[in-house]
Structure 1
Amino acid sequence: MAEEKKGNAIVETIKTVVYALLIAGVFRTVFFQPFWIPSGSMKDTLLIGDFLFVNKMAYGYSYASCPSIIVPRFGIDLDATDFCGWADGDNSRLFGSEPERGDVVVFRHPVTGRDFIKRVVGLPGEKIQVRAGRLHIDGTPVELEADGVFEEVAGPQGPQRLSPRCSNAPVGDGAMCEKAKFVETLPEGTAHSILDIGRQSSDNTPVFTVPEGHYFMMGDNRDNSTDSRFPQQVGGVGFVPFENLVGRADRVMFSSAGSSMLFFWTWRGDRFFKAIE
């Protein structure tokens, strides 16, 4: 009798775990996906260590809405196409809603399938160019206003131990790293912060014509972002298809300045439930 009860308890435990995983999978697929910012490409809008939930209802659903399970330590690398590849290829969405210019969006990289987070700056059919560091849309420069200096302590950041690039380089660990800060106002009136480190090749680009059903993405840390300015053939993002959108990032839940989000003593007190602009 005791062995039977023990066997039943094990079965019930397994069923509970399976149900919990199914519920979590449905929640992550349909409603919100957790996302932890791994790099500094969206500073100072998003910092390394920001933890947020991506709103997957914002743009409807496609193959990209299915979760990825990537655990390199155990050799697990399951992409959204492994679960929902049957829905990939027609660049459409169920209950689809197009993003607005200025939205901060998580999307699947068109080649690698990895999740990226950038800002939508170019819509289908538009001509996008960067000249002398300023974004131009259909030949018209966007409004840009100086907004002082962004400062952070130089040194390894986050679990990847990435060191920031600085306009006042060289800067030793522990010293203050600076970048010029601007407020960029897009044609529809959305205003957000962008950072500039200095003149480099990505500050002057050819004219890109955004294909129908695609979007042009850029990081707010303009000189430290691999985005649509770079073609996929050289590791860039290129134009992002509508079906590759995962969801919209609306709010930072909390933020860790340490190497793990579990280190609560490193949480940034000023970023709890911070709206993403």
Structure 2
Amino acid sequence: MTLQSILGNFALILFVLTVVTGIIWFFDRFYLSRQRRAKADAALAEFDARNAKLSADGIKLENSGRAALEANLLRQPTWVEYSGSFFPVIAMVFFLRSFLYEPFKIPSSSMVPTLLVGDLILVNKFTYGIRLPILNKKVIEVNKPQRGDVMVFKYPKDMSLDYIKRVVGVPGDKITYQNKRLTINGQALSYTPLPDYLNEDTLDYSQQFTENLSNVQHTIAVRSGRPPISLEGVMDFPNKDACSYNPEGFTCTVPAGNYFMMGDNRDNSEDSRYWGFVPDENIVGKAFLVWMNLGNFKRIGTFFK
């Protein structure tokens, strides 16, 4: 693992911080604090004995110094104090991101018009099963991805990268994409034309359709004049022999334990057409909510499917 991939893996950074601050917190709680208490008790006993002797000699003393002495002796070192303060916060964030919900930022237009560049989205981490942090190994089965789900996953060509696409095919499905129309297991999907979509970033128009994918109706965008697939962009990938390509599209049979992913911006998405299937072990979670977009506040609170 390179330094760049380590720095890019926020989950790993959180895990290391949780472990380090946790060790310091427990070490202080069960060892250092007891040492400070023992030293404080000994010093206070000496302080009390000295004051008692002075009082017996008729010297009047102020007792306020005792509290200040005790507080000073029990004070945590700065590095321990900060670690102890940060530990519960970091541990909570790590738990939430690892097992419940994780935020992601949409960096490209491959899911337009469903998701826009700059959308900050939430991903449900437990919908598809409970997985061990960092290792991403599933330990508890919950649900399987379904056609139409918007899913975040580790890019098969570089596991340090997170991709987001729509599940088009599940294990065993025969996917055919010809002339920019999908057929799944011999059944052609229905498409309803919509007004053209204006991409405000590039100021160009795309055709829009409502695609009915296993009763999940969502919007896709296509560009007239673009081929359904760029054959020179197709890479080598595991189980490539399950696919056949031609200038008008492709046909793939999804292997067991894998999923076929496509972007909603069909002519501007690098997806399973080019780099292959997504194994179950690459799954991160199901995306469902835009919680922030600093460039478009109207996007806040948008649930999508």
Which structure 1 segments of 5+ residues have no match? 67-79, 155-163, 165-175, 231-235, 258-267
Q: Residue type matched to 2:102 in 1?
A: Q
Q: Does 1:122 align with 2:166?
A: no
Aligned-partner Cα distance in 2 for 1:240–1:54: 17
How far is the alpha carbon of 1:153 from its aligned partner?
A: 2.7
**1:16-49, Cα deviation, whole Å (9 max, x unpaired):** 1123212211111010111111110000100001
Aligned-partner Cα distance in 1 for 2:176–2:151: 20
TM-score of the pair, normalised by structure 1: 0.73
How far is the alpha carbon of 1:99 from its aligned partner?
A: 1.2
Alignment map for 1:151-230 (pairs within 5 Å) = 151-154=198-201, 164=202, 176-186=203-213, 188-198=214-224, 199-202=226-229, 204-230=248-274
Runs of 4+ in 1 over 6 A off after TM superposition: none
> Aligned-pair RMSD on alpha carbons?
2.0
Aligned-partner Cα distance in 1 for 2:250–2:222: 19
Moved more, 245-254 or 132-141: 132-141
TM-score of the pair, normalised by structure 2: 0.66
Aligned-partner Cα distance in 2 for 1:204–1:94: 41
- Kindly tell me the number of residue pairs found equivalent between the two proteins: 217
Aligned-partner Cα distance in 2 for 1:224–1:100: 23
With CA pairs under 8 Å and 6+ residues apart, which has the higher RCO, 1 or 2?
A: 1
Aligned-partner Cα distance in 1 for 2:297–2:88: 35
Question: Is the 8 Å Cα contact of residues 184 and 192 (structure 1) preserved in structure 2?
Answer: yes
Match of 1:172 in 2: none
How far is the alpha carbon of 1:111 from its aligned partner?
A: 2.8
**1:64-115, Cα deviation, whole Å (9 max, x unpaired):** xx2xxxxxxxxxxxxx3xxx27x4xxxx552231011101010111231111
Aligned-partner Cα distance in 2 for 1:195–1:201: 12
Which structure 2 segments of 5+ residues have no match? 1-68, 230-246
Aligned-partner Cα distance in 2 for 1:93–1:103: 22
**1:240-260, Cα deviation, whole Å (9 max, x unpaired):** 112211111111112133xxx
Aligned-partner Cα distance in 2 for 1:4–1:13: 18
Alignment map for 1:142-153 (pairs within 5 Å) = 142-153=189-200
Aligned-partner Cα distance in 2 for 1:93–1:193: 34
How far is the alpha carbon of 1:12 from its aligned partner?
A: 2.0
The answer to which structure has the higher helix fraction is 2
Indicate the percent of aligned positions where both proteins have the same amino acid: 36
- When residues 111 and 62 of structure 1 are mapped into structure 2, their CA distance, relative to the original with a 3 A threshold, is farther
